[in-house]
Amino acid sequence: MDIKVYVCHHKPWALIKNDVFEPIQVGRDIANNVLPGMIGDNTGDNISYKNKEWCELTALYWIWKNTSHDYVGLMHYRRYVSFNPDIHYDQNINGIEFEDIEKNAWTYEGCETLLSDYPILTSPIYNIHPCGIPKEIQSSYDHYCSEHYKKDLDLMLLVIKEKFPNYYIDALRSIYSTECFFGNIAIMRRDFFDKYCEFLFSVLEEVEKKVDISNYDTYQKRIFGFLAERLTNIFIETIKSKNKKIKIRHSPMVYVGDKEISFNSDFLIK
């Protein structure tokens, strides 16, 4: 089984590079510096130059267009998911040590064992609420509208209705749910991954044609990354509703703090 998990980096940070994990620098085409020890998203068919607006999706696009792994996925330099099926809680770690690799089964064997049971794996599902106010539960729709621009989310839903009508009911179910997973973090069997990317990029490219972000600030210009989080949840909701036998795992998150220790196959780099 050919498995690869690409971990998005845009700054120096602790990293894992082994048989499963492949660090990738996002936005390398427009970056001031090339990060050592990793590939970039600016080779082959790519949209690296769009990174300021498309965030980690420039890596996702590169993976889709330039790889052929049996199972493939995306994580972030500060946000991994655990492959240990016996861990059911989120973790905070400072850097990445050998014991973290072992504890979370971040090896080929650990990943293969999990994916043999689950063709789709995502980050954990959380209740949605305003930052710092966990008792004020919101729908995904209301949360987006409170943090970003409502008109952009409405446009995205309209595009889904017009271009992907088979997804629309599931899109509404997902967007008005009070639970979701964040970060566009997922690993999928290749057939699901290709369908996911076709759906996500088709919708976002249509939104891009119709939305004007010229007056948005730097944060809000990351619109396509924000919308993609909703699209990723919509895709998974559609898979669940149309493929009742498909097993999907939502794994606990591991948040990686700033300590410049990296794991590279069989030795540590300090």
Q: How many domains does the chain have?
A: 1
SS3 content of the chain, % helix, strand, coil (to 5): 40, 20, 40
SS3 223: helix
Domain with 39 in it: 3-269
User: What is the pLDDT tens value at each position of the chain, 270 positions in all?
Assistant: 999 999 999 998 999 999 999 999 999 999 999 999 999 999 999 999 999 999 999 999 999 999 999 999 999 999 999 999 999 999 999 999 999 999 999 999 999 999 999 999 999 999 998 878 888 899 999 999 999 999 999 999 999 999 999 999 999 999 999 999 999 999 999 999 999 999 999 999 999 999 999 999 999 999 999 999 999 999 999 999 998 899 999 999 999 987 654 444 333 332
- pTM over 0.75? The answer is yes
82 near 75, Cβ under 8 Å?
Answer: no
